[in-house]
Every structure is written in C-alpha cells, then in structure tokens.
Amino acid sequence: MPMRRLALVLLLAAAGPVASAASLDSLRAFLRDTQTARTPFTQTVIDKAGRTVQESRGELVLSRPGRFRWSVDKPYRQLVVGDGERVWIYDEDLNQVVVRRMGAALGSTPAALLAGREDVEKAFRWRELGAADGLDWLEAVPTAPEATFTQIRLGFDGRTLAALALTDAFGQTTRVRFGTMERNPTLAPDAFRFAPPKGADVIGDKDR
C-alpha cells in the first residue's frame, strides 16, 4: 500500500498525561528547543506476522507550529504537506490529493504531533517504556476514537528524537528512523506550500 500507507502514517485527541516527568521532559524539550528541523529518514512497514512489506526513505522538514513536509523519494515518490491550515496528501501514482483541515489531523498524526504546539500532549495518553535499542522510549496512545493508529512510540537519544514506531488497528507496525537532525535551520517559506497538480483528483476539505 504505497501512498495509502503513507497517508495512514501521517494522518494518524483528551486524557491527561500519565508518563513520568522524565520521559515527557524529553518531548517537551524537543518541542521547546526545535522551532524548525530537517532530517532524512528511513521507513519500514512490518505486517502482523513480522514480515517486512515495505521499505522507503525520504526527508522530513518542519516548522512549528503546524507546518511540515514529509517527502518520500525512494522507491516511489510520495508527499504530505502541512501548511498550517490544512494537511495535503499527494499520491503521485494515482494523481490524487486528499486534504484535511489541520485541526482535524492534528491530534492523531505523528508529523502533526512534532510540528504542533507544546500542549499537543493533551491529545494522547502517555507511558514511559524504558530503554531499548540504545534509545529511551515513550508511548503515546491517541484518545480520539477515529485515530488511525492505536499506538505511537517515540525514541529519544537524550533530547533528540531519533525514531518513531507506529502500530495500526490491523497489527501492522511502521518504524521510522531519523538520520542526523538539523535543528533550527532557516527554511524557505514555500517549503510548506502545496498546489494540487493540474488534473489531480482532490478529495476532502479543499475550500479556503
């Protein structure tokens, strides 16, 4: 499920946090100290039986609050853009664009979580998972009943976000590993603009 899977990853809110302060401190420090970021990533999708069904790589660029660009270059091109008002999901193979208002997407997507405000933590239930694979892990369970993912895990190397792991209702797990993250770079404003390609089928809340 190439683009369909990416859409699930990025269109993934009001119980209070239950994680330990130490774990949430890593997330809060990341959100507080990272206004913009750019990082390459690798993404692996593993099915319920433990088989790898998809591998891809690309780049995440974000500017808080509310703007991000998640692009996959290999093995196929995919693009998700949050422009501060809406989230645009472009499936190049289908020449199809799905668009949602940012408020509808914010509480249940990892990219929106990272690009959101500090109080975005209220949209999830939190639990410290401890150390594994050289990282300290924090679990986030969306409280919104329509959330695509049942669990999001965030892996921190100190106060740097190094990995994400997401589990959906079908038992599939998407693992994202970030490369060296450039913190607070100067970004071009048009990095977070998206215009549907000519002839594309646009589905969703596209009215401005």
Note the pLDDT of residue 3.
Answer: 46
How far, in Å, CA of 121 to CA of 69, rounded?
21
Per-residue pLDDT tens over the stretch 156-200: 988 888 999 989 888 999 999 999 999 999 999 789 999 999 999
- Which 3-state string (H, E, C) describes 133-158? CCEEEEEEEECCCCCCEEEEEEEEEC
Query: How many other CB atoms sit within 10 Å of the CB of residue 185?
Result: 12
Note the pLDDT of residue 139.
Answer: 92
Main-chain dihedrals φ then ψ at residue 109, nearest 5 degrees: -125, 140
Per-residue pLDDT tens over the stretch 69-95: 989 887 778 898 988 888 898 988 889
Per-residue pLDDT tens over the stretch 95-133: 999 998 876 555 455 665 677 655 667 778 889 898 898
Predicted TM-score (pTM) of this structure: 0.79
| Domains in the chain: ranges and CATH | 2-200 (2.50.20.10)
The burial class, CB within 10 Å (0-12 / 13-18 / 19+), for 208 is exposed
Angle at 46 between CA 45 and CA 47, to 5 degrees: 120
